[in-house]
Amino acid sequence: MNMLMTNRTVATLLLSLALLTGCGETEVTVDGRWYSPSQVVNGKALFADNCAECHGASAEGTRNWQTPGADGAYPPPPLNGLGHAWHHPLKGLKRAIQQGGVSLGGSMPGFEGKLSDADIEALISFFQSQWPAMTYQAWLDRGGLR
């Protein structure tokens, strides 16, 4: 897929999101994905409030995210499809947000008790909406919805 086609796809997706969320449509999936446009919109706000400080406003992560810092903890990875998040099924992504990443060598706090299950699904829908179609398909092929 060339860059022009990707830009057109993103522009179409954004326009669709704006139109559908304005109409109150919540059951329409985004580009054949498991989540709805309203989840992405809600997830973007939740991500900005809870995750963007570390993972970046567009889920781009930090530089050198694969190298542990002086404290031995790994910096926040990208969640936009360029890191390893797409290797984990939906239930694993939910668990990571609930429990945090300290036990895995990171420093992310857990959000269990702070964010509801619906909030966590909205967060995931936002960062998955940043994934290119090929990455999302690879996630599905790995059993992402199981």
Q: Dump pLDDT digits (tens) for 124-135.
A: 999 999 999 999
Q: Do residues 98 and 111 make contact, with C-beta atoms less than 8 angstroms apart?
A: yes
Establish if 65 belongs to a structural domain: yes
pLDDT at 26 over 70: no
CB neighbourhood size of 128 (10 A)? 27
Which pLDDT band holds residue 29 (cuts at 50, 70, 90)? low
Q: Establish if 54 belongs to a structural domain.
A: yes
- What is the pLDDT averaged over residues 96-109? 89
Tokens for 121?
A: 């699904």
Q: How many domains in the chain?
A: 1
- Region 36-47: mean pLDDT is 97
114 within a domain of the structure (yes/no): yes
* Location of structure tokens 């999302």: 136
Q: Is 8 exposed, middle or buried (0-12, 13-18, 19+ CB in 10 A)?
A: exposed
Task: Answer yes or no: is 24 within a domain.
Answer: no
Contact 93, 85 (CB under 8 A): yes
* Rounded average pLDDT over 82-108: 92
Cβ neighbours of 12 (radius 10 Å)? 11
Q: Please determine, for residue 2, whether its predicted confidence score (pLDDT) is greater than 70.
A: no
Q: Rounded mean pLDDT of the chain?
A: 84
**75 belongs to a structural domain:** yes
**Two tokens, residue 111:** 């959000």
The more confidently predicted of residues 36 and 31 is: 36
Does any domain span residue 23? Answer: no
CATH of the domain at 52: 1.10.760.10
Residue 17: per-residue pLDDT: 44
Print the domain residue range for 95: 37-141
pTM, whole model, 2 decimals? 0.78
Best CA proximity match to 73, nearest among 64, 82, 85? 64
Residue 44 included in any domain: yes
